[in-house]
Structure 1
Amino acid sequence: MAHTAEWKIRLHLFEDDRGTTTARVVLDTGTTTLTGHGTAHCHPTDTDVPEIGDELAAGRAMDNLARKLLDIAEKDIEGMGASRPPRRQLTGWPM
């Protein structure tokens, strides 16, 4: 069965004057909207490079969104009567 869909993603980045970058990524599937959040902090002794803060915050927001999307998919799989697939670790410390 062929299936085509288009999902829209918006990424918003904000940096304050204290070196903190926050990111919000919004996924719109047409029927559901999910939001992921991430932050990055520049250490006071480090050189402030906004692009690095953007990359870290955006990556963390997308990771947060990915985990939410995987959780929904796993619950949908269980709802179909199948067992939940083993949780794969994406990044970071073990869950």
Structure 2
Amino acid sequence: MAKTVEWDVRLYLFEEDGTTTARVVLNTGTNSLTGHGKARCNPEDRDVPEIGDEIAAGRAMRDLAGQLLRVADDDLEGIGAGPPVRERRVAYGWTSAMA
């Protein structure tokens, strides 16, 4: 059973005073997720807006990807197919030094 689905993704970039902010919105038709990213130009570096766009957009897409994977994990868990629960390990030694 072959099926094709199209999801809309929109990427918005805002630039002001050496800072680029990105917002990426995914609309699946039944769900909407928004990722955010930011890039700042080091004052000692030459300002190249395209690089700020690429970094901010990449970070927004990475944020969106993480959200999408968490939604999928929740959906899998909801149907009883979630990942196995990892055993929590107890720390040994100087536990006060780890606090």
TM-score class, shorter-chain normalisation, is: 0.7 to 0.9
Kindly report the root-mean-square deviation, in angstroms, between the aligned alpha carbons of the 2 structures: 1.4
Q: What is the correspondence of 1:49-60 to structure 2 with a 5 Å cutoff?
A: 49-60=48-59
**Paired residues, number:** 85
Quote the offset at 1:83 in angstroms.
2.5
Quote the offset at 1:84 in angstroms.
2.1
* 1:93 aligned partner: none
Unmatched 5+ stretches in structure 1: 87-95
Q: Does the CA-based 8 Å contact 2:74-2:82 persist in structure 1?
A: no
**1:48 has 2:55 as partner:** no
User: Percent identity between the aligned chains?
Assistant: 67
Determine the C-alpha separation between the residues in 1 that align with 2:37 and 2:47: 18
Which is higher, the Rg of structure 1 or of structure 2? 2
Quote the offset at 1:85 in angstroms.
6.9
Query: Partner letter of residue 41 of structure 1?
Result: R
Q: Does the CA-based 8 Å contact 1:75-1:84 persist in structure 2?
A: no
Length-normalised TM-score, structure 1: 0.85
Unmatched 5+ stretches in structure 2: 86-99
